Structure 1
Amino acid sequence: MTAESRHTALVHWAKIALPLSALMLLSTLFLFSGKVDPTTAAIYSKVDVTTLAREQRLTAPEFSGLTEDGAALTVRAATAAPDPAGKGASASQIIAKLEEGPGVVTDLRAKSGRIDPAAGQIRLRDGVAVQTSSGYRISTEQLYMATDRTAITAPGAVSAEAPFGNLQAGRMQIDRKDAETGSDLVFQGGVKLIYHPQK
């Protein structure tokens, strides 16, 4: 038998032997593999498939636009779920930014809230934090923000760190009445100020 014919015979038998070996390995794998118990599968699952199928949810939604007085508003969230009644969407881990002009920025954060552009309002709640470019750091539990104009209202108690000291008040409001002068930050309702003289 010549070398060429030996090579041909080897190739011929390899075409038969290799697929058969692979088939045997696969059948052995399935034969000795354990059975899957569907009742225990949910224990190891990190995703609630039933909830995901039932609820509509958006991941990392973003809303942006311009207010009537020319401020740029951007709102982001970790998740958002549309309201069944059509009143906007409930959201978690909300981050909002209101830019009134060069260097005039208000940053807002909250653990949860409701975004309703149709009603022209965003409601932030649960650990609301506000940071202004003028140096104020404000915390409150609930805050309302307009989407069509520069208007931010905290109807409940607020505490703030200002460039000149610490403030406590019953409520707070940020309004923009004049396009030239910018917005006003107003504290009301039993305002208490601890003044820190600048050195």
Structure 2
Amino acid sequence: MPALKISYSNTVFYLKLTLVFLGLFALVMIFLSAKKLDPSTEIPFAKDIDFATLDDGLTKPIYSSMTNSGDEVRISAEQIISTEKKDIALIKSAILRIFSVSGSDLFLSSDTALLDKGKKNLIFSKNVILQTNDKMEITAPKIFTALDKTLIQADGPIKGIFGNSNIEAGKLDIFKENASSNLVISFTKGVKMVYNPGKSF
């Protein structure tokens, strides 16, 4: 009976082939195990948290989800503390980022904010700054943000930069008319715009 002969080159070939298949298998397992970020109506920091137990505060909470129009929402803070009102918590050093599928990202920050678990919103106050990634930076005493949809509202006095203009207004609304539309930025109530070619965001 002839002896079975396996050459060195054949051994190397089959070893390489085995490694290739193992690599492909590993990639498939990575993609299958990856979790997709699904739209959520969960309230930031509020899932499985009883506000009444936050007397000592929750330090550096972080939340990430998507609105019903597909925009990614990221919220972080220095601390969240309970208040005397049920389902309302105080947030210190609040930061909100909205990454819109249309490409117009939003950045909102303030010294404090109130989280209303029941109404699903955040109200930013004290040193409030709202920016977009392309053409706007404004301030307002308070800015309201919905958490289950893309909606930001502010009452005046609103001041800041919009494109190459200084702007003042009594009201600001940022929203989407439908899930697939671009962001709508609307200034109303006594709007004043002064073109300034030397100043832009």
Q: Does 1:177 align with 2:177?
A: yes
Q: Does 1:58 align with 2:58?
A: yes
- Distance in 1 (CA, whole Å) between partners of 2:180 and 2:73 is 18
Report the structure, 1 or 2, having the larger helix content: 1
Higher relative contact order (CA 8 A, sep 6+): 2
Trace 1:116-195 onto structure 2 (pairs within 5 A): 116-195=116-195
> How much does 1:102 deviate?
6.2
- Distance in 1 (CA, whole Å) between partners of 2:196 and 2:120 is 38
> How much does 1:196 deviate?
2.5
- Distance in 2 (CA, whole Å) between partners of 1:89 and 1:193 is 37
Question: What root-mean-square deviation, in Å, do the aligned CA atoms of Structure 1 and Structure 2 show?
Answer: 1.8
SS in 2 for 1:95: strand
> How much does 1:82 deviate?
2.1
> How much does 1:197 deviate?
4.5
Trace 1:88-107 onto structure 2 (pairs within 5 A): 88-101=88-101, 103-107=103-107
Verify the 8 A CA contact 1:92 1:113 in the aligned structure 2. Answer: yes
Report how many residues are paired. 145
Percent identity for Structure 1 against Structure 2: 23
SS in 2 for 1:103: coil
SS in 1 for 2:122: strand
Verify the 8 A CA contact 1:117 1:147 in the aligned structure 2. Answer: no
Verify the 8 A CA contact 2:140 2:155 in the aligned structure 1. Answer: no
**Residue 70 (structure 1) aligns with:** 70
SS in 2 for 1:101: coil
Query: What letter corresponds to residue 167 of structure 2 in structure 1?
Result: L
SS in 1 for 2:134: coil
Structure 2: 5+ residue stretches without partners:
1-53
> How much does 1:100 deviate?
1.1
- Distance in 2 (CA, whole Å) between partners of 1:160 and 1:115 is 26
Verify the 8 A CA contact 2:87 2:117 in the aligned structure 1. Answer: no
**Residue 87 (structure 2) aligns with:** 87
- Distance in 1 (CA, whole Å) between partners of 2:114 and 2:120 is 11
- Structure with larger Rg: 1
Verify the 8 A CA contact 1:90 1:114 in the aligned structure 2. Answer: yes
Query: What letter corresponds to residue 76 of structure 2 in structure 1?
Result: R
Trace 1:8-23 onto structure 2 (pairs within 5 A): none
- Distance in 2 (CA, whole Å) between partners of 1:133 and 1:197 is 19
Structure 1: 5+ residue stretches without partners:
1-53
> How much does 1:75 deviate?
1.0
Verify the 8 A CA contact 2:120 2:148 in the aligned structure 1. Answer: yes
> How much does 1:180 deviate?
3.1
